[in-house]
Structure 1
Amino acid sequence: MAEVVTKGTGEVERIADRAQVDVTFEALGAERSEAVSILNQRISAVEPLLEDFEVRSRQLSVHDNWDNNQRTGSRATQQYVIWVADLDKLDGLLAELVQAEPSWVNGPSWTLVDDTEAIREAQKEAVADALRRAEGYATALGRRLGPLLRIGDTDGGGYSPKMMRSASFEMAGPAGMVDQLNLKAQQITVSASCTAAWALLD
């Protein structure tokens, strides 16, 4: 049986409803224990700020610093990955984190809390696109399009911000600067792609 194989893509747009913020605090000390102690002092004011948010990970790193094969002290680093679902609290969180003087802040990165509905709509559009293409080929060949034989996902689906507008800065300055960055929720483009095979009828 003759068949035609087509690829289809679909895209839908949604406004992000969750933000991810990555923040890193560092401390230096003559010994590892001293570096960790100083780091604990620095983040002691940070932990209470995070009680209203979902902390996806806390990662501690402690290591010696070396210069020309000579040990020059130790460094302790604490990295946080924070999810913010209540976006009204985002600016306040960023301002307080900046005030705590982290070594690095990166975010927000925008995502969807639940992307199920958006993915299904994108998949529906991808199938419709594949069908339109198959019908076009069948018409071009003077044939009729028969039933669907098989269908599968192809690489390239997922979702991504339509426009990135995030802040990354080292040794953050005054907290007031956060208010001027206009870190509003961005539009997310959700995409799906498929490959489908259809029978060709006389």
Structure 2
Amino acid sequence: MRSLQTAGRIALFGAAVALAATTLPARAETPRIATIDMVGTGTVTAAPDMAILTSGVVSDAETAGDAMSANTTAMSAVIARIKESGIEQRDIQTSGFSVQPRYRQIKSGSLDNTEYRSEIIGYRVSNNVSVRVRDLAKLGGLLDTMVRDGANQVGGVSFIVSDADKLKDKARKEATADAIRKAEIYAEAAGIKLGRVLSISEQDYSPRPVMMMARAEMKMDGAAPAPIEAGETSLDVRVNITWEIAQ
């Protein structure tokens, strides 16, 4: 008797589930939207008004302590002259420091079984600073001063446009107009019409700073200050726009 009651309850439950399933509304499929994507570019040029100068001192000695002592003395003199040149403390930043052993290869063994081993012959200490130069007229003289006072490694000079983002607004308008122009050309050629704009995004397309004078271990005794020309920098913008294709 109990088995019949249990079987009846299961049957009623199954019927209820089936009925509920038939009464639930079918989930509508999201219609696919046909789109067209286009990238537009715009460019403006501007004269840099700042520069980043990277320079430092490399010191070699038989012991790490002697190399460190020599490097500290030379680097302190370089930093002192940088400040005397009118560069503020906030514009001087250590950009690299290292202490490394120097090796030489020693050959041993016979002609048929040659072996090499490394032997430490000394240590090298390197200390570099990045200097932000806000007055480009001082750049050549500052570089000359640093080298004369002990800087024997110059990593390079990069020029910067301080208000680049604001100046890019014109390039953004040009990039948007360029994307629209090209999208209209493709739409006309394909026999379609552009609908509403679905998205607009700016792509990161900032050019790397212009690097100059990437030379190491320079000697400029008696030389005139290095001529530095900032020129102009291109500020580029790329914009991606997506339209819905009108039905």
Aligned letter for 1:98? V
Post-superposition CA distance 1:4-35 (Å, at most 9, x none): 22111111111111111111211112211111
Preserved contact between residue 198 and residue 243 of structure 2 (Cα < 8 Å):
yes
Post-superposition CA distance 1:147-171 (Å, at most 9, x none): 211122335x11346xx57223333
In structure 2, stretches of 5+ residues that fail to align are: 1-32, 106-117
| Residue 147 to residue 177, structure 1, CA distance change in 2 (3 Å) | farther
User: Any idea what SS the aligned residue of 2:142 has?
Assistant: helix
| In 2, Cα distance between equivalents of 1:127 and 1:56 | 39
Task: Name which of 164, 184, 188 aligns with 1:139.
Answer: 188
Deviation at 1:189, TM superposition (A): 0.8
| Residue 21 to residue 60, structure 1, CA distance change in 2 (3 Å) | same
Task: Name which of 89, 94, 100 aligns with 1:63.
Answer: 100
User: Any idea what SS the aligned residue of 2:151 has?
Assistant: coil
Aligned letter for 1:17? D
| In 1, Cα distance between equivalents of 2:95 and 2:208 | 25
Q: Which has the larger radius of gyration?
A: 2
| Residue 165 to residue 61, structure 1, CA distance change in 2 (3 Å) | closer
Deviation at 1:99, TM superposition (A): 0.8
Q: Does 1:148 align with 2:197?
A: yes
**Higher relative contact order, chain-length normalized (CA < 8 Å, sep 6+):** 1
Q: Does 1:104 align with 2:150?
A: no
Preserved contact between residue 94 and residue 178 of structure 1 (Cα < 8 Å):
no
Structure-2 residue corresponding to 1:33: 65
Q: Does 1:10 align with 2:46?
A: no
Mean CA deviation greater in 19-28 or 117-126: 117-126
Structure-1 residue corresponding to 2:212: 166
TM-score in terms of structure 1 length: 0.86
Higher strand share: 1
Higher helix share: 2
User: Any idea what SS the aligned residue of 1:44 has?
Assistant: helix
| In 1, Cα distance between equivalents of 2:165 and 2:216 | 36
Where do 1:61-140 residues align within 5 Å? 61-68=98-105, 69-140=118-189
User: How many pairs are equivalent?
Assistant: 198
Preserved contact between residue 35 and residue 74 of structure 1 (Cα < 8 Å):
yes
Query: Between the two proteins, what is the percent identity of the paired residues?
Result: 26
Structure-1 residue corresponding to 2:233: 188
Provide the alpha-carbon RMSD of the alignment. 2.2
| In 2, Cα distance between equivalents of 1:106 and 1:8 | 35
TM-score in terms of structure 2 length: 0.72
Aligned letter for 2:207? Y
User: Any idea what SS the aligned residue of 1:158 has?
Assistant: coil
In structure 1, stretches of 5+ residues that fail to align are: none
